[in-house]
Structure 1
């Protein structure tokens, strides 16, 4: 993830993140009251589920997530997806993503090797910031 804007840089209005999503990866079903979210697909294809409705998004598509809606996404196809993710006001998402990630050294442009997420730590951080991650169906 590459943070383009943190809420404290834009008068607390939003958080803007660019995200590279490997095929098969994404976010499990989740919801978060008080944070509106939108995804703009820069490259690749992404399958979204929003309140039980499935949508396939391609380069150039914008997918809005209503405040509190249960949603999930996964990169599909034969190449990673690249997304811009806008969260408003964004404080919850900034705390979540910075709390579970590792900052890359200045100047590093290559992604580190993928690793398995620490699921208990992710769930704990989500709960701490007010997100609900739902169990797999």
Structure 2
């Protein structure tokens, strides 16, 4: 996952904005931020998105339903999703091509979290390590992230 900061957190502002390239097969894993809102805007490609409190947290997040029967949606270029503080959410790239999204958050330093998470998962970090990373950034993990093996590393599986 590539991350290009547009409003880096070191400017001392209360937001961070960046463009994220999401590789095919990547799933950030369902999670909750106690503080801070997020906004996702799809620039190109397709992403599965959800942002609601599910009736149950069992099974993959893409199958979860809200009390009003809301489900995950497939978003395309031009679509956006707002996530208020405390709302469970996730995104995943189900397609064969990378997707790009503009990401705005009221949690400065979030680009560092994304970079650290991507590095940990691609290096084979275990679930406890992922939980510790997310906890450092005030994030409760609901499902594990999934980052596909890069081309040329198919033998590693």
**TM-score, normalising length from structure 1?**
0.77
5+ residue gaps, structure 1, are 103-113
- The CA RMSD over aligned residues, in Å, is 2.2
Provide the residue aligned with 2:6 in structure 1: 4
Q: How does 1:1-137 map to 2 (within 5 A)?
A: 1-9=3-11, 11-51=12-52, 52=54, 53-91=71-109, 93-100=110-117, 115-119=122-126, 120-135=128-143
More strand by share: 1
In the TM superposition, what whole-angstrom CA distance separates every residue of 1:67-126 from its partner, at most 9, and x where no partner exists? Answer: 1110011112231111111111324x2442354466xxxxxxxxxxx9355244332111
5+ residue gaps, structure 2, are 55-70, 145-157
Distance (Å, rounded) in 2 between the aligned partners of 1:117 and 1:20:
20
**TM-score, normalising length from structure 2?**
0.68
Asked if structure 2 preserves the Cα contact closer than 8 Å seen for 1:40 and 1:61, the reply is yes
